[in-house]
Amino acid sequence: MKLRHVLPLIIGFVFVPAALMLTVGILILVYGSVARDYLFGILIVSLVGTTIIGSAATLAVLFREARVAKLQTDFVNKVSHELRTPLTSIRMFVETLQLGRLQDPQRQREALEIVAEETARLSGLINRLLDWARMESGRRVYELSRQPLGPVLDAALAAFEPQLLHHPVQLERDLPPRLPSVMADRSALVEAVLNLLNNAFKYTGPDKRIRLSAVASGPTVTIAVTDNGPGIPLRDQKHVFDKFYRASDPLRRTVEGTGLGLAMVKHIVVGHGGKVSVESEPGCGATFRIALPVAGGAHG
């Protein structure tokens, strides 16, 4: 358990009683006998105050732990389901091929293509879980070096391209010709931007419009990914970067995912000294932003 998780308990049961006792002590010292007359009352008030604050802090911690436990259970269910689905279809196609039920070479090729696709999906999911485990345990270290931002964003777009084969996308690249450099772990930053592009793809309907833009202003450069999807309700916006968090509305729940993508984006961006944010009006799409410090100060 991390310190920030038990902080309310420490405040409720240690700091508050200590502060109350200190106050009582000071009162006795300053007002002498007058305060002594009220000592019993002051002690009762202190005791009741401590009990109320301590109990409230305990409840807050318990509620949060219960919420995390529920998210974790949902996550395990979701991941198990996502591992089982491709495995089932791989097994089914391999058995069909083994039994020689597909004689037509064209159908055999199609079956093998599905097996290859599902295998890639499985290894993608496993890599994501391993990556997350490395981040959580602090083993993921970012090796920062000076990177011109333009090529980093082009690499993310290139990695996103295979998605365009699955479904047409109106993809807008709105990048100024001269973008500054940033201190970055190139592959991690590509991964963060790609994650936002993939989410924009996943969460938009059949008419997909996605825009990748960047703008430098003084010491900061901001990368933005905008989509024309359903957007994110205000109550979800403050949670989307939490680990395991998935939206509550059934429409977005049907989309495949683990609730780790944006938590990983945040980990990467914070590891680069930057900030992530989301802006969205439900029904009007969403814009995710990554703000990073420009390498060597302001962009001229």
- The site for ligand ADP (CB under 6 A) is made up of 199-200, 203, 227, 229-230, 232, 240, 245-247, 252, 257-263, 286
DSSP code at position 230: -
Per the CB < 8 A criterion, the answer to whether 50 and 32 are in contact is no
Crossing angle for the helix pair 16-37 and 39-98, to the nearest 10 degrees: 170
Residue number, 53 or 265, with CB nearest to ligand ADP: 265
**Which of 153, 149, 159, 168 minimizes the C-alpha distance to 198?**
159
Residue number, 259 or 274, with CB nearest to ligand ADP: 259
CB of 273 to ligand ADP, least distance (A): 21
CB of 179 to ligand ADP, least distance (A): 23
Q: What angle do CA 193, 198, 203 make, to 5 degrees?
A: 130
Q: In the beta sheet, which residues pair with residue 210?
A: 171, 227
CB of 226 to ligand ADP, least distance (A): 9
Per the CB < 8 A criterion, the answer to whether 115 and 90 are in contact is yes
Q: How far is CA 174 from CA 109, 191, 215, in A?
A: 39, 19, 9
Q: How far is CA 240 from CA 63, 220, 243, 276, in A?
A: 19, 23, 8, 11
Residue number, 152 or 210, with CB nearest to ligand ADP: 210
Q: How many residues does the chain have?
A: 300
Buried b (16+ CB within 10 A) or exposed e, 102-124: beeeeebeebeeebeebeebbee
Six-digit token string for 182: 């940033």
Six-digit token string for 230: 């359903």
Residue number, 179 or 232, with CB nearest to ligand ADP: 232
CB of 192 to ligand ADP, least distance (A): 11
CB of 152 to ligand ADP, least distance (A): 20
Six-digit token string for 20: 């109350």
CB of 166 to ligand ADP, least distance (A): 16
CA distance 168 to 255: 18
Residue number, 16 or 276, with CB nearest to ligand ADP: 276
Residue number, 111 or 192, with CB nearest to ligand ADP: 192
CB of 239 to ligand ADP, least distance (A): 8
Per the CB < 8 A criterion, the answer to whether 211 and 172 are in contact is yes
CB of 253 to ligand ADP, least distance (A): 7
